[in-house]
Amino acid sequence: MAKMWAGVTAGNTDPVADDFNSSIRFDKRMFRQDITGSMAHAAMLAAKGIITPEDRDALTEGLAGILEDLESGKLEVDPGCEDIHMFVEQVLTQRIGDTGKKLHTARSRNDQVALDLRMYLRSECDEIAGLTADFAEVLTDLAGQHKESIMPGYTHLQRAQPVSFGHYMMAYAMMLLRDLDRLADCRKRINISPIGCCALAGTTYDTDRRMEAQLLGFEGICLNSMDGVSDRDFAVEMLAALSLLMMHLSRLSEELILWASWEFRFISLSDAYTTGSSIMPQKRNADMAELVRGKTGRVYGDLMGLLTVLKGLPLAYNKDMQEDKEGVFDACDTVKMCLRVLIPMLQTMQVNTGNMLRAAQSGFINATDLADYLVKKGMPFRSAYKISGELVALCLQTGQVLETLPLETYRQFSGLFDEDLYQAIDLKTCMEKRLSEGGTSVASVEQQIAWVRAQLKKTRGEQGSGT
């Protein structure tokens, strides 16, 4: 079939070239944005007297019918069309006749595709932010339940100091809050309208770009037409924000995998999020968490892919830019899937506080507190550190722990030791004493929870009022 753009060429391209050139397979998911954008365009054209009110009504009605039929499945996207923009215009003209051909006045597919992508990513941004906030809330709820559950905190994956499971969960909640911040920040730059930039240079028609932008809920317009049609930095930013979000999710997933193992048994994942092995009947695999960890790689790949596509492209639009969509769509789909599985997985997992406490009791994680005890009695920290280390070594040789070592033994190392040392190295005391802001004490975790809850409430409020 001859192309809509047939003119100087006959438009009879080779079918292999057609297939290669076409993007409808993946850009059809922007049909809502494309149609809504076109409705606003018709409204602007009529407001400026470029088309008549009757033309506008016919276009709007035709477009509304197409939207309805696509939503209901009555109309199917024709995979033979080059892209979703061509498809909608073609069906419109078939349905309402020559008036349909007026829609593309004072615009180009170059500003149209940039508009559709910005609108699409804007709504994805909101959906992903909503899920991220939901997940942060789940972590905060867990923290509320476990602000007194003692577990070992690690550095170098070696038991280091006691922390609460609640404090641990809040660390991830804080990361997610920054992810939310990044999404909100990149949304600001997504939410600038390129429509009216036309092919690259603007238009000779007396258009009103700001009216069209406002109708579509944009905060402003791109102020240089060549920039408006040719940059995709907003999509790169979104991919970067999603990559960081996935980085956080992958770290948490790794912990869940470890904690669910027989070596740790800090948590038990519910059956609904655990898989078995086809050969080993005892297996309870944390496949979902492993997949979140694995899928992080593809989101990073999507980011690198788009950066590489854009590198060195001359202004303005180039067909290379058609390659912008699949990666960013894939990243959005992937992140949403990951959050949708992590949320119920954490809501239903069992936290084995007894196992956490046992692990905390056997790793000398109060050795720092033992040194601090001596410091508080007047010994310089380095000397106290040395004595504390020697006592741990002694315990290891004799199969004891600091809590069970007799006072006489302590006194052989320093006369500063007294009965109250046992209170000082009690794990609960060790945790409770870390009262510094942001520390692991119950009071500090409560403060963190209150702050995160307030931030989440604010985020949801802002989201609720946006487009």
24 or 442: CB nearest ligand ARG? 24
Whole-number minimum distance, CB 69 to ligand ARG, in Å?
22
Whole-number minimum distance, CB 28 to ligand ARG, in Å?
11
Lookup: tokens for 239: 């991919």
27 or 372: CB nearest ligand ARG? 27
Q: Which residues bind ligand ARG (CB under 6 A)?
A: 23, 27, 83, 109-110, 113, 317, 319, 321-322
Positive/negative CA dihedral, 209, 211, 217, 220: positive
232 or 293: CB nearest ligand ARG? 232
Instruction: Measure the CA angle with vertex 25, ends 23 and 29; round to 5°.
Output: 100
14 or 420: CB nearest ligand ARG? 14
34 or 369: CB nearest ligand ARG? 34
Whole-number minimum distance, CB 272 to ligand ARG, in Å?
40
Q: What are phi and psi of 221, to 5 degrees?
A: -125, 155
192 beta partners: 220
Strand 267-268 versus strand 220-221 pairing type: unpaired
**Active site residue: 123, 193, 225, 277, which one?**
277
Active site annotation includes 104: no
110 or 441: CB nearest ligand ARG? 110
Whole-number minimum distance, CB 313 to ligand ARG, in Å?
12
CB neighbour burial string for 122-138, b if at least 16 within 10 angstroms, e if fewer? bebbbebbbbbbbbbbb
169 or 321: CB nearest ligand ARG? 321
234 or 317: CB nearest ligand ARG? 317
Whole-number minimum distance, CB 234 to ligand ARG, in Å?
15
Whole-number minimum distance, CB 326 to ligand ARG, in Å?
10
Q: Are 257 and 142 in contact (CB under 8 A)?
A: no
**Active site residue: 156, 278, 436, 465, which one?**
156
Whole-number minimum distance, CB 155 to ligand ARG, in Å?
48
Whole-number minimum distance, CB 118 to ligand ARG, in Å?
13
The 3-state DSSP class for residue 275 equals strand
Active site annotation includes 167: no
Return the active site residues.
156, 277
